[in-house]
Every structure is written in C-alpha cells, then in structure tokens.
Amino acid sequence: MFTGIIEELGVIKAIARQPAGARIEIMAKQLLDDLSVGESVAVSGACLTVTGLASSSFEADLSGETLQRTTLGQMAVGDAVNLERSLRFNGRVGGHLVSGHVDGVGRIAERRQEGDMLLVLIELPAELRRYCVSKGSIAVDGVSLTINDVTRNTLSVTVIPHTAKMTTLGLKGAGGAVNLETDLIGKYIEQLLGADRGRPGLI
C-alpha cells in the first residue's frame, strides 16, 4: 500500500527482456537508504518487488501482465520514473490510499500553465470513467492528485510547482502515456453492490 507522495525521481539503468516478462534496474539515491530485498516499491504507480540491490540502484521483475497494463512496457533506458516506498502505518497519509495496481493507461491530451500551476487534461480509458468523480482522488504515474473535472472521456488535474519539479508529470508533454489507478474504495463498493457486469450484489 502507498500514499501517492513521490519520494524521488529514479532513472531506468537497464531492462532485460525475458520470455514471460522483464527485469528492470533503476538508479536511485535516498530511496536506497533502508531498502531491502523483498520490499515493495511503486515505480510510476506500479507496485514492484525489489529482487536485487546495488550501491546506486535496485532491480525488480516485471510480469507480462505489468508490461501489458502499464507504461513500463513502453519505457527505455534513460527514462525517468516516480519512486515511492510502501506505506508505514505509524505515519501520516499525505495523499490517499494507493494499492500500486494500475487500472489502465491514459494519455495526456493537453497541458498548460495557469500562473504557477500546471493544468493537465488526461484522456481516460472508457472503462475507468465510472470510478472518477469531481474532487475525488486518482493516482497518475503514482502521484496522488485531486480530480478537477470529469467529462465523458477526459479528466483534468492541477499539478502544483513542487509536484511538477519532483515527478515525471513535469516532464511529460501532450501525447505522453500515464499509469492510472482509480480510487480503491469505489471499486470495492461497485463489487459489493453487484454493479460490475450486472452480477448480483453481495448486499
């Protein structure tokens, strides 16, 4: 479990393709201070398990599912990624509860400066629209953001200067792909009520 508060920008050092997935090596600094093999790290919003550690990098394995459902399958050596260690339940939750299980990939339709702020318009996969509400939460590349408005196929978010500087959202332009994770609570409510695919609810 994560909060969507990014700790640092990492850089992909190596990607080794394998028959059923890939192994990725990511350069980092402060994230490595107390990181151990077996821990979870959100990499641009995708929860990965640390499988190897070096003095300036860590490794993780990517399943075929992760490569297909997230932007990690499109990334290359030298690309920047957002990094967050898993949540400790004895601290504050600065963002919202993020599972690190990406629901789908969106695309930046527009980005424009509004004073110091960056307004980003994101094209939504149709199946995710029902989980997005105005003033609700969404994780974009692992970054916890508040949804400004939602239309039939887009949503808009405002990125403050600090977030633009510290995450990939300050680097990606129009056409850039982003990982999207919608609010976990909404998906559970839908499942309990049986709204998913017309199945009978549990209550």
DSSP-based three-state secondary structure for 126 = helix
CATH number belonging to domain 104-191: 2.40.30.20
Q: Is the pLDDT of residue 27 over 80?
A: yes
pLDDT band (50, 70, 90) for residue 198: low
Q: Give, in order, the Cα–Cα distances in Å from 133 to each of 28, 38, 130, 146, 182.
A: 34, 35, 8, 9, 10
This prediction has a pTM of 0.90
CA distance 190 to 201: 8
Q: Which whole number is the average pLDDT over 154-179?
A: 96
CB 72 within 8 A of CB 141: no
CB 9 within 8 A of CB 79: no
CB within 8 Å of 91: residues ≥ 6 apart:
none
pLDDT digits (tens, 9 = 90+) for 95-119: 788 899 999 999 999 999 999 999 9
User: Residue 185: what pLDDT?
Assistant: 86
Domain with CATH 2.40.30.20 in the chain: 8-85, 104-191
Q: Which of 84, 79, 106 is nearest to 182 (CA)?
A: 106
Query: Looking at domain 8-85, which of 2.40.30.20, 2.60.120.260, 2.40.50.140, 1.10.600.10 is its CATH number?
Result: 2.40.30.20
Q: Which whole number is the average pLDDT over 152-170?
A: 95
